[in-house]
């Protein structure tokens, strides 16, 4: 004999499971935290800028006070003295830069010329551009000595375009000559290192002259 299935007389239904949108709620929370974090950083930056500005303002006031005190301590007479000294030094430099010092040229003649050649007259000119030229006359004991002097000028290179002219033979067989040349500007420029001693008498003529 088959048994019939037992049918319950009552039952309690289970509550249905409802899915909630967790993802959107979590994203909104993260954005809110990020916004608060940015706001906090901006607030801290504003406070830092405020205090830094106060520090800078205090530093400026302190330095302005120190500058005013230093300016008050300056003696106008001392400042005027320094200005006048500067002007004198600048004027001295300008004068020295344009000063003609023929001692360098005479020293070069002393080292170049043979002992048997001497000048009896020299005339040195310097134009506005600084180009220097020398003209004069002299006496050589022999023609060979004059040739040696010409070769010495060519080898030295500081006294250029040398021309010996108007050569005549004297009664004592010496040779009188005219002389012209152009000079390296350094030979007639002033230099503090120039020697103070004068060249030897055998080289320098007694009536040598210079003109600006």
- Per the domain annotation, does 28 fall within a domain? no
Mean pLDDT, residues 6-30 taken together = 59
- Domain holding 121, by residue range, is 103-211
- Per the domain annotation, does 63 fall within a domain? no
| Residue 171 confidence (pLDDT) above 80 | yes
pLDDT in tens, 37-67: 888 888 888 888 888 888 888 888 888 888 8
Which CATH number fits the domain that encloses residue 154? 3.30.1360.100
- Per the domain annotation, does 20 fall within a domain? no
- Per the domain annotation, does 65 fall within a domain? no
pLDDT in tens, 67-110: 888 877 777 887 788 888 888 887 777 666 666 667 777 888 88
Mean pLDDT, residues 20-40 taken together = 72
> Residue 209's beta-bridge partner residues?
123
Number of structural domains in the chain: 1
- Per the domain annotation, does 116 fall within a domain? yes
Q: What is the DSSP string of 112-149?
A: HS-TTEEEEEEEEEE-TTS-EEEEEEEEESSHHHHHHH
| DSSP assignment letter at 206 | T
What pLDDT score does 115 carry?
83
What pLDDT score does 74 carry?
77
- Looking at every residue in the chain, the average pLDDT score rounds to 75
Residues 6+ apart with CB under 8 A from 156: 108, 111, 112
pLDDT in tens, 143-170: 888 888 888 888 888 888 888 888 888 8
* Strands lying side by side in the sheet with 209-211: 159-169, 175-183, 132-140, 117-126, 209-211
| Residue 16 confidence (pLDDT) above 60 | no
- Per the domain annotation, does 142 fall within a domain? yes
- Per the domain annotation, does 47 fall within a domain? no
> Residue 182's beta-bridge partner residues?
133, 160
What pLDDT score does 14 carry?
57
Compare 12 and 65 and report the one with higher pLDDT.
Answer: 65
* Cα–Cα distance, 208 to 137 (Å, whole number): 10
- Per the domain annotation, does 206 fall within a domain? yes
**pTM value surpassing 0.85:** no
């Amino acid at each position: 004999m088959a048994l019939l299935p037992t049918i319950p007389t009552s039952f309690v239904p289970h509550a249905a499971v409802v899915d909630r949108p967790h993802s959107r709620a979590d994203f909104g929370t993260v954005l809110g935290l990020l916004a608060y974090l940015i706001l906090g950083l901006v607030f801290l930056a504003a406070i830092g800028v405020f205090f830094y500005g106060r520090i800078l303002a205090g530093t400026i006031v302190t330095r302005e006070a120190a500058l005013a005190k230093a300016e008050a301590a300056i003696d106008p007479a001392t400042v005027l003295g320094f200005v006048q000294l500067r002007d004198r030094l600048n004027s001295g430099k300008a004068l020295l830069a344009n000063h003609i010092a023929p001692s360098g040229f005479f020293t070069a003649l002393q080292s170049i010329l043979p002992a048997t050649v001497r000048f009896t007259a020299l005339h040195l000119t310097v134009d506005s551009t600084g180009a220097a030229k020398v003209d004069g006359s002299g006496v050589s004991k022999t023609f060979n000595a004059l040739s040696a002097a010409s070769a010495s000028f060519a080898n030295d290179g500081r006294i250029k375009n040398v021309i010996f002219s108007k050569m005549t033979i004297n009664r004592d067989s010496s040779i009188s000559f005219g002389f012209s040349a152009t000079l390296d500007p350094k030979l007639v420029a002033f230099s503090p290192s120039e020697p103070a001693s004068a060249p030897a008498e055998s080289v320098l003529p007694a009536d040598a002259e210079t003109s600006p």
